[in-house]
Amino acid sequence: MRLIAVAAVLLVASFQSGGATGRSTETPQHWLERMARSLHTLNYQGTFVYASGPRMETISLQHTVDEHGEREHLIALNGAPREVLRDGAAVTRILPDTSSIFSQPDTPSATFPMALGEAFTHLDQFYSFQLGDNERIADRETQQIHVNPRDSYRYGYRLWLDRQTAIPLKVALLDEEGYPLEQVMFTSFRLMQEEESASRPAESLTVPPVLSAEPARRARREIAATPWKIKALPDGFELFSHIKETLPGSSQPVDHVVFSDGLVSVSAYMEPMSDRKGLSGISRLGAFSAFGLNLEDYQVTVVGEVPPATVEFIGRAIVLGPDTQ
């Protein structure tokens, strides 16, 4: 669940009320703006379940904000021990079993579902938003929000926002038929008291005695010119970044292009052909779709948490040409 855009401002009256306003004044935009603000500003902790196909994980979450900034600490409660610490825009993954730490200092700070509230005006061109029913999640009353795509190149979403805080207590990613591909749901949730949030989660974090940092796992560099061209993109998708990187186990540089509509992103990889057989055609696993083809002496692979039609559209629009992006 990942959730890239510009910050929105919460209406002061809505924030000060800390709860529901009169139903006549409630709109999807009102709720999503509150959600975006609350995700950045409130101190809370809880346990949620993530489900995707047969895979299910239980994760503990603690989120704090103070004069030092915004921090988040996630701990996997089943399967292999794993922890994730987000400090501002930097993300650190800790794998005690392998005595390893992976750092990603360039992770975008705004992801789904935060982007729904932060870029509502732009996203309204490609998604429709409606209020749904009230439901009880984690013993708290919630307001359901329906986010429906306006075309076949995007998935739909359902959000259940806590009526007191507007924090999403449940999020479902829906396929083209409206069936859930992925779901996240809190089983327990509470706001933290001021004295609790004063103790920052990283201070008690136990890290392995032997740490193997991997800063060179992907050697990246920005590129200004490229022979690759994109003939067209689905409406709303734009070029977000284009880098050249060397993937683990390979000595050949790979072009990595990212496209985004402000809510979801799609990655395209163009690499020289090798003895390894690349993907040909469409592949789908849960919410992720992939499309691959051979283009002259290159393997082109497009992947993203979007319908198959989206990755195929982008994959077939990639061509080699004399012009630059």
* Per-residue model confidence (pLDDT) at position 106: 43
Residue 197 burial (CB count, 10 A):
20
* Per-residue model confidence (pLDDT) at position 208: 43
**Which residues of the chain, if any, have pLDDT below 50?**
1-24, 105-112, 114, 117, 202-221, 224, 323-325
Domain boundaries, the chain: 12-213, 219-320
* Per-residue model confidence (pLDDT) at position 219: 43
Q: What is the DSSP string of 183-196?
A: EEEEEEEEEPPHHH
* Per-residue model confidence (pLDDT) at position 291: 97
Rg (CA), the chain: 21
- Residue type (1 letter), 69: G
Q: What is the pTM of this model?
A: 0.77
Compute the distance between CA of residue 44 and CA of residue 49 in angstroms, rounded to an integer.
Answer: 16
* Per-residue model confidence (pLDDT) at position 95: 76
* Per-residue model confidence (pLDDT) at position 202: 47
Tokens of 52: 């995707």
Compute the distance between CA of residue 71 and CA of residue 170 in angstroms, rounded to an integer.
Answer: 21
* Per-residue model confidence (pLDDT) at position 94: 84
Computed over every residue of the chain, the mean pLDDT equals 78
Would the CATH topology of 12-213 be identical to that of 219-320? no
DSSP, res 97 = G
Q: For the structural domain made of 219-320, what CATH number should be given?
A: 3.30.200.100
- Peptide bond just before 113 cis, omega within 30 deg: yes
Residue 248 burial (CB count, 10 A):
8
Tell me, which fold does domain 12-213 have in CATH?
A: outer membrane lipoprotein receptor (LolB), chain A (2.50.20)
Tokens 């730490």 map to which residue? Answer: 101
* Per-residue model confidence (pLDDT) at position 10: 23
* Per-residue model confidence (pLDDT) at position 303: 96
| Inter-residue contact 178 to 153 (CB < 8 Å) | no
Q: Which DSSP helix (H) or strand (E) runs through 65?
A: strand 55-66
